[in-house]
């Protein structure tokens, strides 16, 4: 596995698009990690005297309708976007992996019931699920993270279940059973480590997808709440000033697109390298 990753990282370097994706992700992480330090202004500090100011030496990208520094808000926004995305994907995996691995491993009626639920759940459009849940729970950072991570469970479970199902038929698993290792040891120490690659690929692409959908929900007013420096919220607020200050809308949208593009490029590249079977054509 380690060697596989080492080879893969060399190949990522060689594949130009995957490397570009990697650079974009690194830039996003740097902006997120250093943003709060680099930001020249407090992202929430309002200055009524310089509302909707154009770019200047002091405010490199100008200010918003409350005189807040746009660049500082974008940098803080990167941190928030990453935080939400990582939290959602990690929580989603913690719920989705057991939800798929156990039915896949034990089969039978558990598998049947679990997969019927997954099928039915996937027959429900994702955005509608989030809207309905957020409408009931109310907007906010924690409800957004809960809704998105719960919503990712069925697709993760289906992927993991398929992988476990195929892996458990292999000979080394039979051997492990023959020497009397117990089920949880076989499942967590033998099977799961061997099916990690496709799960990593899915998680990478999900990181970008979560940034996109979280921005959309915040944009609709159902995700993060003002005055948080969230890219989706910034975009939604910018609509009222688009004629006079188009930068307020252009910059957050560019930030979202570049982040999602980074994860898509890197995810595509990883898929080709770690799991050639899954790649297109």
Partner 1 sequence: MLSFVFRRILSLVPVLFIVSLMVFSIFRLVPGDPVDAFLGTEQDPEVRRALRAEFGLDKSLPVQYLYWVKNILQGNLGRSFSTQQNVLKLLGEKLPNTIYLAFSSIFISILIAVPAGIIAATRRKKLEDYSAMTFALLGISIPGFWLGIMFILIFSLYLGWFPSMGFVSPLEDPLRSLWYLALPAFSLGWLQAAILTRLTRSSMLDVLNREYVRTARAQGHPERTVIFRYSLKNALIPIVTIVGLRLAALLGGTIVIEQIFSWPGVGLLLLQAIFARDYPLVQGAVLIIAVGFVLINLLVDITYQLIDPRIRMS
Residues forming the site for partner 1 (CB under 8 A): 116-117, 119-121, 123-129, 131-133, 135-138, 208, 212, 215-216, 219-222, 235, 238-239, 242-243, 246, 249-250, 252-253, 256-257, 260-261, 264-265, 280-281
CA proximity to 163, closest of 199, 188, 189, 190? 199
CB of 254 to partner 1, least distance (A): 8
Encoded tokens for 27: 């830039």
CB of 80 to partner 1, least distance (A): 16
Sign of torsion, CA 17 18 22 24?
positive
Give Cβ neighbours of residue 175 (< 8 Å, ≥ 6 apart): none
CB of 126 to partner 1, least distance (A): 7
Residue closer to partner 1, measured from CB, 164 or 256 = 256
**Do the Cβ atoms of 105 and 191 come closer than 8 Å?**
yes
CA of 88: how far to CAs of 92, 124, 201, 216, 236, in Å?
6, 20, 16, 15, 22
Calculate the CA 251 to chain-centre distance. Answer: 20
The whole-angstrom separation of Cα 206 and Cα 91 is: 12
CB of 181 to partner 1, least distance (A): 36
Residue closer to partner 1, measured from CB, 187 or 210 = 210
Calculate the CA 204 to chain-centre distance. Answer: 7
Encoded tokens for 65: 């309708």
CB of 222 to partner 1, least distance (A): 7
Residue closer to partner 1, measured from CB, 7 or 278 = 278
Residue closer to partner 1, measured from CB, 37 or 136 = 136
CB of 47 to partner 1, least distance (A): 25
Residue closer to partner 1, measured from CB, 199 or 260 = 260
Residue closer to partner 1, measured from CB, 175 or 242 = 242
**Do the Cβ atoms of 215 and 230 come closer than 8 Å?**
yes
CB of 72 to partner 1, least distance (A): 21
Q: Report helix angle 126-137 to 196-219, nearest 10.
A: 60
Neighbour count for residue 8 (Cβ, 10 Å): 20
Residue closer to partner 1, measured from CB, 46 or 250 = 250
């Amino acid at each position: 596995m380690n060697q596989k990753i080492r080879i893969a990282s060399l190949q990522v370097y060689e594949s130009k698009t995957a490397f570009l994706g990697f650079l974009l992700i690194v830039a996003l992480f740097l902006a997120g990690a250093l943003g709060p330090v680099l930001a020249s202004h407090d992202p929430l500090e309002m200055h009524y005297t310089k509302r909707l100011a154009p770019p200047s030496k002091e405010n490199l990208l100008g200010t918003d309708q409350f005189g807040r520094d746009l660049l500082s808000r974008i940098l803080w926004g990167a941190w928030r976007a990453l935080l939400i995305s990582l939290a959602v994907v990690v929580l989603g995996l913690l719920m989705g992996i057991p939800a798929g691995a156990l039915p896949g491993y034990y089969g039978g009626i558990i598998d049947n019931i679990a997969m019927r639920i997954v099928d039915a759940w996937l027959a429900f459009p994702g955005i509608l699920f989030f809207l309905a849940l957020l409408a009931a729970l109310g907007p906010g950072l924690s409800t957004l993270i809960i809704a998105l991570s719960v919503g990712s469970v069925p697709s993760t479970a289906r992927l993991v279940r398929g992988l476990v199902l195929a892996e458990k038929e292999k000979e080394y698993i039979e051997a492990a059973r023959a020497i009397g290792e117990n089920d949880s040891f076989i499942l967590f120490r033998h099977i799961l480590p061997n099916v990690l690659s496709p799960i990593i690929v899915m998680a990478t692409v999900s990181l970008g997808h979560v940034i996109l959908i979280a921005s959309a929900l915040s944009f609709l007013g159902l995700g993060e709440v003002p005055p948080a420096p969230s890219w989706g919220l910034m975009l939604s607020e910018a609509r009222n000033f688009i004629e006079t200050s188009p930068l307020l809308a252009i910059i957050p949208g560019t930030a979202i697109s570049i982040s999602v593009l980074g994860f898509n490029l890197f995810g595509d590249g990883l898929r080709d390298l770690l799991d050639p079977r899954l790649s297109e054509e």
